[in-house]
Structure 1
Amino acid sequence: MTAYSLYYFLKPILPWSLRMGMRRVRGRWLLKKSHDVWPISPGSDKIPDGWPGWPNGKKFAFVLTHDVEGIRGLERCRELAELEKELGFRSSFNFVPEGEYRLSDSLRTFLTQEGFEVGVHDLHHDGSLYASERSFHDQSPAINQYLRSWNAVGFRAGFMFHNLEWLHQLNVRYDLSTFDTDPFEPQPDGMNTIFPFWVPGNDSRGYVELPYTLTQDSTLFLVLQETDYRIWSRKLDWVAAHGGMALLNVHPDYMNFSGNPGPSEYRASLYRDFLVYVKRRYQDICWFALPRDVADYVAPFKPVRRV
């Protein structure tokens, strides 16, 4: 059993405070070690071969996604959606099909009718999907069934595990399981690009990979214990200046809307204030898009990531 396999085996019985304490110690070490590749990785601004530019002359794209990990996150989805609606944003909510909750038809209908997108987030969210190629193969049919029944076209694996070749087993138009640079993830091999790119299959099929390019909220506010959104805004400004895709993933599980966050939460106002910043500074030059919109736009051009 590998160290990571052991961790995910023990995770359900380890207290949150112990797990987070371990992540914070590791995070401080990685912060010093990775200053030259995070939050900006040199060379990640290389324009992919075959890149068409953004639609309607927009300078860059801004994409919001949410991974709903547990019951607490599920209960906060509507409040998060209302916050974004108020500011004129829409996002994708990715749900775990067979985790500690079940996605109701009423919530899924509410989100889609209000202009949000619904995607699939892993199958069990227990670290088992990528335990082996066999495990991925065995779980793929169930994931594909949920993709069909939810009318979803996108996927993100738990813990950002990824194997772009194995993902061809899923019937998706796009995947969200990678990033440009993120040394804090358990599988830290970044794509080193701030652009979407095409992942071809053995036949004519393929899918679009959409790496996240803004640090995840859990890393920023819980692991690194930042108290403002400056790391987000500085990276956003850099992505915008280089014409890339600013893709952010935040978790309703960790957002506190009452103004009195617990140890495993941060104030939702931090996220709201960042969205206000984005809208105020970039409203006229940015393409605000759902992941499926970006994938549908990019797919015909099949841009190739430059390494």
Structure 2
Amino acid sequence: MRRKLIFSKLPSYKDIWPTLKGSEKKPEYFSGWPEGKQFTLVLTHDVEHKRGYDRVIKLLEIEKKLGFVSSFNFVPERDYKVEKEILQTLRENGFDYGVHGLYHDGKLFSSESEFLRRATKINAYLKDWNTNGFRAPAMHHNLDWIGALNIEYDMSTFDTDPFEPQPDGVGTIFPFWVENKRHPEGGYIELPYTLPQDFTPYVLMKETTPKIWIDKLDWIAEHNGMALVNVHPDYIDFENSGKNFEEFNLNIYTEFLEYVKTKYEGKYWNPLPAEVAAFWKKLIKP
């Protein structure tokens, strides 16, 4: 049903997805990325279930072999237990991690009181895991409430995506500061995803090549923006078996990474989200 709905709406969304004109406008205080890089590439992964959790190291090894680093977001209380060993392995290899909601039950933003109740536990996990990054499940967001979390950055928004449950895009391919009185430091950095997350084009639309990602990446690179993508290990068919309709071929992702590496060698910055947030915070609060 969701697939049919997407294809029925695609024609009316062609002017806003996957590229939104106007989102390329640079902030006045932005003069370029570190070391004069043309654009920034941020790889992130939301680990939805145990199936995805069991594949984290496999995905790490693939990205590391290709010369990339990424950050994994874990759900603290779902159907898998986040072991400290896996967090240590990620950091030892130059990767990172963040907190992905609490239960992933769709109720995090059901009311302000419920969010604040859960925020207490989320903050405890942030401290215990020694991380300062957050992404809400299903990209639900209320940037005011999120300020109650002890974070340096959030990744619960997107530049444009009319197919999300909460489709209000932030309209920019750059990070930005969220002024927030609830936050201990008066605000935090927001990192919107700017490449369509994998589920829509590759699980629902059944695209078989990385063209959607590549076309958007080229446009972002042209405008010196931030290409941030969310790829779920849960949805990757690592064996390329084609047996699970909720998975897409691993080659789509690896071909995308190889394209970036080949076409833009020496021209992109591939930082962890925390590094982007730290860089951007210095721009606005030197």
Pick aligned residue for 2:5 from 1, 17, 26: 26
The unaligned stretches of length 5 or more in structure 1 are 1-21
Cα deviations by residue, 1:252-290 (Å, 9 ceiling, x for unpaired): 001011110311111111101110000001121111111
- Partners in 2 of 1:43 and 1:155 — Cα distance? 27
**Secondary structure of the residue that 1:220 maps to in structure 2?**
helix
The unaligned stretches of length 5 or more in structure 2 are none
**Secondary structure of the residue that 1:169 maps to in structure 2?**
coil
**Secondary structure of the residue that 1:273 maps to in structure 2?**
helix
Kindly indicate whether residue 232 of structure 2 is the aligned counterpart of residue 232 of structure 1. no
- TM-score, length-scaled by structure 1: 0.90
**Secondary structure of the residue that 1:259 maps to in structure 2?**
coil
Aligned residue for 1:263? 245
- Partners in 1 of 2:117 and 2:67 — Cα distance? 40
- Partners in 1 of 2:200 and 2:175 — Cα distance? 22
Kindly indicate whether residue 73 of structure 2 is the aligned counterpart of residue 94 of structure 1. yes
Aligned residue for 1:3? none
Aligned residue for 1:220? 201
- More displaced 10-residue stretch of structure 1: 88-97 or 194-203: 194-203
Task: Report the alpha carbon displacement of residue 49 of structure 1 after superposing the two structures with TM.
Answer: 3.0
Q: Is the 8 A contact 1:197 1:302 kept in 2?
A: no
Pick aligned residue for 1:150 from 111, 124, 129: 129
Aligned residue for 2:279? 297
**Secondary structure of the residue that 1:128 maps to in structure 2?**
coil
- More displaced 10-residue stretch of structure 1: 276-285 or 51-60: 51-60
- Partners in 2 of 1:26 and 1:145 — Cα distance? 39
Aligned CA RMSD, in angstroms, stands at 1.2
**Secondary structure of the residue that 2:227 maps to in structure 1?**
strand
Q: Is the 8 A contact 1:30 1:183 kept in 2?
A: no
Kindly indicate whether residue 104 of structure 2 is the aligned counterpart of residue 115 of structure 1. no
Kindly indicate whether residue 264 of structure 2 is the aligned counterpart of residue 282 of structure 1. yes
- What is the 5 A alignment of 1:33-182? 33-182=12-161
Cα deviations by residue, 1:161-206 (Å, 9 ceiling, x for unpaired): 0111111100000000000000110000001100001111227521
Q: Is the 8 A contact 1:52 1:301 kept in 2?
A: no
Task: Report the alpha carbon displacement of residue 215 of structure 1 after superposing the two structures with TM.
Answer: 0.6
Q: Which amino acid aligns with 2:250?
A: A
Task: Report the alpha carbon displacement of residue 25 of structure 1 after superposing the two structures with TM.
Answer: 1.7
Cα deviations by residue, 1:222-276 (Å, 9 ceiling, x for unpaired): 1111111101000000000000000010000010111103111111111011100
- Partners in 2 of 1:280 and 1:136 — Cα distance? 44
Q: Is the 8 A contact 1:119 1:152 kept in 2?
A: yes
Cα deviations by residue, 1:203-226 (Å, 9 ceiling, x for unpaired): 752110000000111111111111
- Partners in 1 of 2:200 and 2:119 — Cα distance? 28
Kindly indicate whether residue 174 of structure 2 is the aligned counterpart of residue 192 of structure 1. no
**Secondary structure of the residue that 1:246 maps to in structure 2?**
strand
Cα deviations by residue, 1:84-104 (Å, 9 ceiling, x for unpaired): 010010100000001111111
- TM-score, length-scaled by structure 2: 0.96
Matched-pair identity in % = 50
Q: Which amino acid aligns with 2:221?
A: A
